[in-house]
Copies of this chain bind each other. A is one copy, B any other.
Amino acid sequence: MNSLKHKAAVNDWERVVGKENVVTRESSLREAETSTFAIRHRVPAIVRPGTRAEVQECLRIANRREVPVYPISSGKNWGYGSRVPASDGCVLLDLGRMNRILDFSEDLAYVTVEPGVTQAQLYAFLQERKSKLWMDATGASPHCSMIGNTMERGFGHTPYGDHFANSCGFEVVLPDGSVIETGFARFPSAKTAPLHRSGVGPILDGLFSQSNLGIVTRMTIWLMPAPEYFQAYYFRCEQNDGLGAILDALRPLRLDGTIRSASHIANDYKVLSALQQYPWDLTGGETPLQGHHMATLRNELKIGAWNGSGALYGTKAQVKEARRLLRRALKGKATRLQFLDDRLLRLAARFAKPYQLVSGWNLERMLAVLKPVYGLMRGIPTDHPLFSTYWRKRTPPPPSMDPDRDGCGLLWCSPVAPNDGRSAHELTGIATELILRQGFEPAISITILSERTISCVIALGYDREVEGEDERAKSCYDELLAALAAKGYHSYRLSVGSMSAMGDKNSTYSELLRDLKYMIDPKGILSPGRYIPISDLEKYRSAHL
């Protein structure tokens, strides 16, 4: 907080939201500037509006004082930048206090929320009401915002895994402080406002996803009816090059609706990082974890080269038929296809210890990993995946995990590929080779998010407290992004440090985005640099003003 301009803005904001909701304490600001990788964007203050009207007023002040702001819902954008803004000097607009659940319908299966509503909060809300509806949850954290994740186009594991596709009726505060509602919500007393994506005329929702064109202060999220019967499935594939055949076998089932949910396939590194931290002893302290060590661990822990999970939802008869089709499709391509339901899970938990005595396999440890994923497939939030961000740490994670605070290094690269074996094989091959060569472990998970594409999440885990690792990891991430893009595999989401990384075919698309940004936010006060490169905007402004 070094300029007069900032001080004046802070004074104005304090008048709107109250002194207690404007944070300028140095330690809090330093925390907010810290993510799971190195990024040096200063945060001069944190402002916490409590209502939509306060958000509007905050933006009017930002315009008047020409101080840029950057909204966060819960700030749990792990692996992509946590709470850190996409450019230097943005005041955080923390929407966490706006955490009301505004509307809910059991019959029409939706809930309308504010940005501060977290996965855990929505889950508790549904449980309290004994609702027969399931939410979808990402593995990020129970304390992650529903709206935040949806606007970033995050995804989970159920048939409603594609969050953006299952949302509608946004209330958006534009950078000048005015408000619009999307879809039919723009009309008075519209009965379909929470039910229908498009209204009449152009569809604007997409403009506000992965952008800096407005702040979504209300959203309807569709929920799925709990099925009569639920059964998870798990399978393995022992060969590194067996992934392609599995995807080609699953694709027809995804296309014809037999598999309706976003099933996952994780490689050995990914599963290992969920089971334990880096095996320092085994490698004698060496990094990265090379193939032969991985082979030993795979064998010991009964991990496949590829490890699939997904679930079947429906009546008993529907699930039975899906099971038959899944078995037939995976025959000869996957091993140990197993089905798990509530009854079996309870049994397994009870007999894990005796089972280990007989078989030597540590079922209990495996269950500790299986159960959270099993829950996610029923839309139950978990913080278990956070464990893996401590992968390269030399000490175990504390009871209350916080990767930002604890210096966990994590960069997520998330390329999208055609849902076919050849593409998946090529993509994972490039990533595995490149990452190992640069001294890290390629922890890869593949989500069959849609009928025609797979979304990969490649985690680069490291220890930020090791000298030079920040730089090495960033350089590895940049190289990976470029190598995959060169082969036609572009990321669906970017980290706040890399939002200018995507090169268009020609400049028309970027110019259109820039024109949009300039029209809606002429002073560039909302999240400058977020998905619409800031340099372009500045060039544009200097040319046009």
Contact = CB atoms under 8 A, between A and B. Distances in A.
B192 A418 contact: yes
10 contacts: A108-B452, A153-B198, A174-B512, A195-B418, A195-B419, A196-B452, A200-B491, A201-B513, A258-B318, A315-B325
Contacts of A452: 108-110, 195-196, 222
A145 to B, nearest CB: 19
Given A109-B452, A251-B107, A201 B191 contact: no
Contacts of A493: 200
Nearest to A325: B315
Nearest to A223: B255
Contact of A515 (B207, B519, B531): B519
A418 B200 contact: no
B200 A420 contact: no
Nearest to A257: B260
Interface bin, chain A: 35 or more
Nearest to A486: B189
Contacts of A490: 184, 187, 190, 192, 199-200
A515 B521 CA distance: 12
B256 A451 contact: no
A411 to B, nearest CB: 16
A126 interface: no
Q: Is the interface of A mostly helix, strand, loop or mixed?
A: loop
A491 B200 CA distance: 7
Interface stretch (A27-35, A45-53, A117-125, A498-506): A498-506
Contacts of A419: 108, 195
A431 interface: no
Contacts of A463: none
Interface stretch (A175-183, A262-270, A534-542): A175-183
Interface stretch (A209-217, A276-284, A365-373): A209-217
Interface in A46-83: none
A485 B207 CA distance: 26
> How many copies, total?
2
A252 interface: yes
Nearest to A251: B107
Interface string A97-129: 000000000011110000000000000000000
B225 A189 contact: no
Nearest to A488: B191
A485 B187 contact: yes
A317 interface: yes
Contact of A200 (B186, B198, B260, B494): B494
Contact of A505 (B165, B181, B256): B181
Contacts of A179: 508
A509 B164 CA distance: 21
A528 B407 CA distance: 56
Interface string A430-457: 0000000000000000000011110000
A107 B420 contact: yes
A36 interface: no
Contact of A204 (B190, B199, B206): B206
A451 B194 CA distance: 12
B207 A203 contact: yes
A139 interface: no
A34 B147 CA distance: 47
B505 A451 contact: no
B531 A202 contact: yes
Contact of A192 (B202, B453, B502, B512): B453
A205 interface: yes
A140 interface: no
A361 interface: no
